[in-house]
């Protein structure tokens, strides 16, 4: 397993210690869990932004789901 070293201030270390006690998990798990979640969320946001930009540039048109369901008999009128 790989190791990564980070440098923090004394105040940051105290706060991280408080957070490990608060969540009842190790420092390693705390940093891994929350940094990975934030990175995954940011990645998802950027991918969505790129996809939306490509969609807008394509000139394609979207339709409300209700219209599609009506057209194909999925909604009772």
Convert the pLDDT of each residue in 52-75 to its tens digit: 999 999 999 999 998 888 888 876
DSSP string computed for the chain: ---------HHHHHHHHHHHHHHTS-HHHHHHHHHHHHHHHHHHHHHHHHHHHHHHHHT-----HHHHHHHTT-S--
Give the start-to-end residue ranges of the domains of the chain.
Answer: 26-77
Convert the pLDDT of each residue in 8-54 to its tens digit: 999 999 999 999 999 999 999 999 999 999 999 999 999 999 999 99
């Amino acid at each position: 397993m790989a190791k990564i070293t980070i440098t923090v201030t004394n105040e940051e270390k105290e706060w991280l210690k408080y957070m490990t006690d608060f969540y009842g998990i190790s420092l390693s798990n705390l940093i891994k869990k929350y940094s990975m979640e934030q990175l995954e969320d940011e990645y998802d946001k950027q991918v969505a932004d790129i996809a939306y930009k490509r969609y807008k540039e394509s000139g394609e048109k979207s339709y409300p789901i209700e219209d599609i369901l009506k057209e194909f008999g999925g909604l009772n009128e």
